[in-house]
Structure 1
Amino acid sequence: MIVDLTPADGAAYDPASDPRVADYLAMSDAALRQVADPAAGRYIAESTTVVRRAIAAGHTPRSFFLARKHVPALADLLEQFDDVPAYVGEPELLEAIAGFHLHRGALAAMQRPAALDLGTVLQDARRIAILEDIADHTNVGAIFRSAAALGIDAVLITPRCADPLYRRAIRVSMGTVFQIPWVRLGVWHDAVAHLRAAGFTLAALEVTDEALPVDDVAAQNHEKLALILGTEGAGVSAAALANSDLQVVIPMAAGVDSLNVAAASAVAFWELRAR
Structure 2
Amino acid sequence: MPIIEISSLSHPGVEIFSTLTEAQLRGRMECGRGVFIAESPNVIRRALDAGYEPLALLCEQKHITGDAADLIARLGNIPVYTGHRELLATLTGYVLTRGVLCAMRRPRLPEMEDICRNARRIVVIDGVVDTTNIGAIFRSAAALGIDAVLLTSGSCDPLNRRAVRVSMGSVFLVPWTWMEGSLADLGKLGFRTAAMALTDDSISIDHPALRDEPRLAIVMGTEGDGLPRETIAEADYVVRIPMCNGVDSLNVAAAAAVAFWQLRAPERER
TM-score, scaled relative to structure 2: 0.90
Match of 1:66 in 2: 59
Stretches of structure 1 that go unaligned for 5 or more consecutive residues are 7-12
Match of 1:39 in 2: 27
- SS at 2:207 equivalent: helix
Quote how far apart the aligned CAs of 1:36 are.
Answer: 2.2
> What's the CA shift string for 1:32-81, capped at 9, x where partnerless?
41x22222211100001111111111111100011111212222321332
Match of 2:225 in 1: 234
Quote how far apart the aligned CAs of 1:219 are.
Answer: 5.2
Amino acid at match of 1:241: I
Match of 1:143 in 2: 137
- SS at 2:249 equivalent: coil
Match of 1:77 in 2: 71
Superposed, 1:119-198 pairs within 5 Å as 119-186=113-180, 190-198=181-189
- SS at 1:19 equivalent: coil
- SS at 2:56 equivalent: strand
Aligned-partner Cα distance in 2 for 1:217–1:265? 18
Aligned-partner Cα distance in 1 for 2:232–2:19? 38
Aligned-partner Cα distance in 1 for 2:263–2:73? 45
> What's the CA shift string for 1:216-247, capped at 9, x where partnerless?
15555111111110012111111211221110
Among 241, 245, 255, the alignment partner of 1:264 is: 255
Quote how far apart the aligned CAs of 1:171 are.
Answer: 1.5
Aligned-partner Cα distance in 2 for 1:87–1:59? 19
Stretch deviating more after TM superposition (36-45 or 195-204): 36-45
Aligned-partner Cα distance in 2 for 1:89–1:125? 45
Quote how far apart the aligned CAs of 1:133 are.
Answer: 1.0
Give the superposed CA RMSD: 1.6
Stretches of structure 2 that go unaligned for 5 or more consecutive residues are 29-33
TM-score, scaled relative to structure 1: 0.89
Quote how far apart the aligned CAs of 1:256 are.
Answer: 1.3
Question: Between Structure 1 and Structure 2, how many residues are aligned?
Answer: 258
Contact 1:26 1:99 survives alignment (8 Å): no
Aligned-partner Cα distance in 2 for 1:169–1:25? 18
Contact 1:129 1:152 survives alignment (8 Å): yes
